[in-house]
Structure 1
Amino acid sequence: MASHIIGERSRGISVGSVFGRSANVIKDNPLATLGTSFALIALPSLLLGQIGLGAAVFQNVQLGQYALAGVYGIIVGLLWLIASGALVQATVAHDEGRAANPREMLRVGVLRCLPLFAVYVLMLLGIWVGTIFLVVPGIMLAVMWSVALPAIVAERSGVFGAFGRSRALTKGARWHVFGILLLAFVIYLLASIAIGVGSVAGYGSLGVLTGGGQVRMPLPTQPSFVVQLLQSIVTTVVLTWFTTVGASLFIELRDWKDGPDADRLADIFA
């Protein structure tokens, strides 16, 4: 049995193992994962759209007034960070053989929201600076820090400790990590484009393309509630999957580097 564990650690990580773990987290905890994402990300946007706030933000930006858009962006960003932390916690619980508890997920998401924000901002700044220098350094930093966000939730390593932990976990597997992240990003991008095309059609903005040569951008018309709801559901599934892929990558790297948790090892040798 010990040789089996060593063999599992030596085989490294793969697209199948990461994507499979992510799918299993969602499949085994559909209400906790998809429900949390919908409640924190899709539902607020859906409700705000029903009262016309989305159109108001769009109109204010057109007029050069960015205050409302800034407040809207902060609220949406904080909810997204809370949802991200909650989904990482669900992935950790699944790895421990437990069912994801929505109350626990939300508690962890709220408590880790500010550290996640700090890590996210520092990561973006570092990658942006690296990208200025011929792009390659930015890609290298993105891969090196790819599991910093899950690390700060799963191990509470602190803002700067999360970067060090991610660097240590990805060492020796960065080409694999790059390939996995690239494939996940392509899938996410294609899904986002499909959602965007549906949104444009739903808002009736295709008329801009045949608007008789006029340059001005008309305000979007409000789509039906059913269209918005379907878009929200699809967005929820895509974002949940993409976030759990990142968390699953962290778990796979941690198992590869450190081996299974002590509790699971005790069960194996019992």
Structure 2
Amino acid sequence: MPASTNWRKSSRNRAHPFGPASEYLKHRQTGGGGFGRTPPFGTEAGNTHGELQLVQSASINLADTVQFCIFIRWAEYNMASIASGRPEKFRIGQVFSNTFSVIGRSFGPLAAIVGLFSAAPTLIYNFWNLTQLARMREAVGASAFERPDMARLAAVSAIAGLLFLVLSFLAQAALVRLTVDDLNGRRPAVGDCVQIALRRFFPMLGIGVIVFLALILAAIVMSVVASLLAFGGLFVGGLIGVAVAFIPAAMWLISISVAIPVAVQERLGVFGSISRSRALTKGSRWPIFGLLLVIAIAAGLLQAAFSLLFRFALATAGGLSGTGIFVGAVGGSLLSSIFSAVISVAIAVIYVELRQVKEGANVDELAEIFS
């Protein structure tokens, strides 16, 4: 039987298509076959019947070759995913585990960063605020809340709130670097983390302004909807207002939850970071929402428990004393700082996890951007 006949028969073996494809590729690499060349497998030059067999076998094996190439690409993708440990989906348990592992391993640098950007400013403000309240309560005559001091207290509180917002962005940026270094097996350096945070200050500030404006818009829409539907009862109108404005706003915030890590890590601008965050969180927003909701509920319960104990102590002591001011200021700043640290590290770990799920990027590749 001529060799060309064997070639045609092997081409029809669909159960094992890569055999003839590999033979065809080897044959092409050795210079055989193809138009204008010597027909393969003993077909004589100028033999019309042999040339027809060559064209038929080449058309059949072209499909086999395409299938073979697709299979190779698929195998390379899966082998790379297995070799790099790339996860197939977002893992809440892994994020929880890595978050508290980072906090435990890098507690010293983390405490320094959180103390600089969160605990110390909050402690100073709490001392001042509680001291002013104690002084106003001791005032005689008119009610303390009708005095001009109340307006000053409100103004200072508003300014302090904006300052704390800016400092929280700096803390989160510094903790992004700390988290990546820790997950990469390196000892985070406080100075390096702070330098990275200051370098990316203005993009983070722009992201903060957009978030602030979005929250104001959501609050306005929620109030308007609740007012328009007040005929059905304030409670019902409020629920509809929440459904119309608050829930979409919350999901939008979840979609841009890793915008600051993107701005720090990938050095994008304000809108580029927001767009990139939405692309990374797509398909994983509900798990992220559940994870952050658990952390927020835990923080809220701790804050509520502390507030009840503090109010009970004030009622027992008959007012704000020096000890009460100290306990309230220190306790409040510690609670807010702990929550800030946990949520910032969790968001950084979420970013790393999303990069691994979406793109297969490992921590080494993420750390190289900072070098």
Alignment TM-score > 0.5, same fold: yes
Shift of 1:254: 1.1
Deviation per residue, 1:200-219 (Å, 9 max, x gap): 345x26789xxxxxxxxxx8
* 1:187-202 matches, cutoff 5 A: 187-201=298-312
Q: Is the 8 A contact 2:206 2:270 kept in 1?
A: yes
Q: Is the 8 A contact 2:172 2:344 kept in 1?
A: yes
**2:214 aligned partner:** 126
Alignment-mate amino acid for residue 244 of structure 1? V
The separation in 2 between residues aligned to 1:89 and 1:201, in whole angstroms, is: 41
Deviation per residue, 1:218-247 (Å, 9 max, x gap): x84442646644554344323211211111
**1:30 aligned partner:** 107
**1:56 aligned partner:** 132
Query: Is 1:9 equivalent to 2:87 in the alignment?
Result: yes
SS in 2 for 1:8: coil
Query: Is 1:41 equivalent to 2:128 in the alignment?
Result: no
* 1:90-239 matches, cutoff 5 A: 90-130=178-218, 132=221, 133-201=244-312, 204=314, 220-222=320-322, 223=324, 225=326, 228-239=329-340
Q: Is the 8 A contact 1:9 1:255 kept in 2?
A: yes
**1:214 aligned partner:** none
- TM-score under structure 1 normalisation? 0.78
**1:19 aligned partner:** 96
- How many pairs does the alignment contain? 252
Q: Is the 8 A contact 1:116 1:149 kept in 2?
A: yes
Query: Tell me, which stretches of 5 or more residues in structure 1 are unaligned?
Result: 209-218, 266-270
Q: Is the 8 A contact 1:188 1:238 kept in 2?
A: yes
**1:215 aligned partner:** none
Query: Tell me, which stretches of 5 or more residues in structure 2 are unaligned?
Result: 1-78, 137-146, 222-243, 367-371
Q: Structure 1 residues 145, 3: closer, same or farther in 2, change over 3 A?
A: closer
Question: 1:249 pairs with 345, 350, 353, which one?
Answer: 350
**2:166 aligned partner:** 78
Shift of 1:90: 0.8
Q: Is the 8 A contact 2:352 2:363 kept in 1?
A: no
CA-atom RMSD, angstroms? Answer: 3.1
The separation in 2 between residues aligned to 1:36 and 1:182, in whole angstroms, is: 24
Shift of 1:36: 1.6
The separation in 1 between residues aligned to 2:268 and 2:349, in whole angstroms, is: 18
Q: Is the 8 A contact 2:92 2:291 kept in 1?
A: yes
SS in 1 for 2:87: helix
- TM-score under structure 2 normalisation? 0.59
Shift of 1:188: 2.3
The separation in 2 between residues aligned to 1:61 and 1:111, in whole angstroms, is: 40
Instruction: From the CA coordinates, give the structure whose radius of gyration is larger.
Output: 2
Q: Is the 8 A contact 2:126 2:333 kept in 1?
A: no
Alignment-mate amino acid for residue 149 of structure 1? I
Identity rate of aligned residues, in percent? 27
